[in-house]
Structure 1
Amino acid sequence: MSTVEYCVGTLAAVAFAGVLLKVVAGDHVQAALTAIIDRALK
């Protein structure tokens, strides 16, 4: 892979990771994960 392609691929991966982090850090997702874990532990 050429340098430009490598750079674009890396930037796309970082952008995707940022979006994923925003989604997972959201209140709705945290509440849903907490509910799932609470149900699993009961």
Structure 2
Amino acid sequence: MSEFNQLWSIVATLFTLVLITATAFEIGYTLGRDDKKKAK
């Protein structure tokens, strides 16, 4: 059972990292798009 727990913690960590990266990318993309609108 300990192997399953270790695997689950790794999956959870990876999922969290992906979620943070996706959120940061989306925020950066939205801000960049807003800046382009203001420039025009």
Give the TM interval when normalised to the shorter protein: 0.5 to 0.7
Gaps of 5+ in 1: 36-42
How many matched pairs?
A: 31
CA RMSD of aligned residues (A): 2.2
Gaps of 5+ in 2: 1-5
Identity %: 3
Which protein, 1 or 2, shows the higher relative CO under an 8 Å CA cutoff with sep ≥ 6?
1
After TM superposition, the runs of 4+ consecutive aligned structure 1 residues lying more than 2 A away are none
Instruction: Normalising by structure 1, report the TM-score.
Output: 0.63
Instruction: Normalising by structure 2, report the TM-score.
Output: 0.66
User: Between Structure 1 and Structure 2, which shows a larger proportion of helix residues?
Assistant: 2
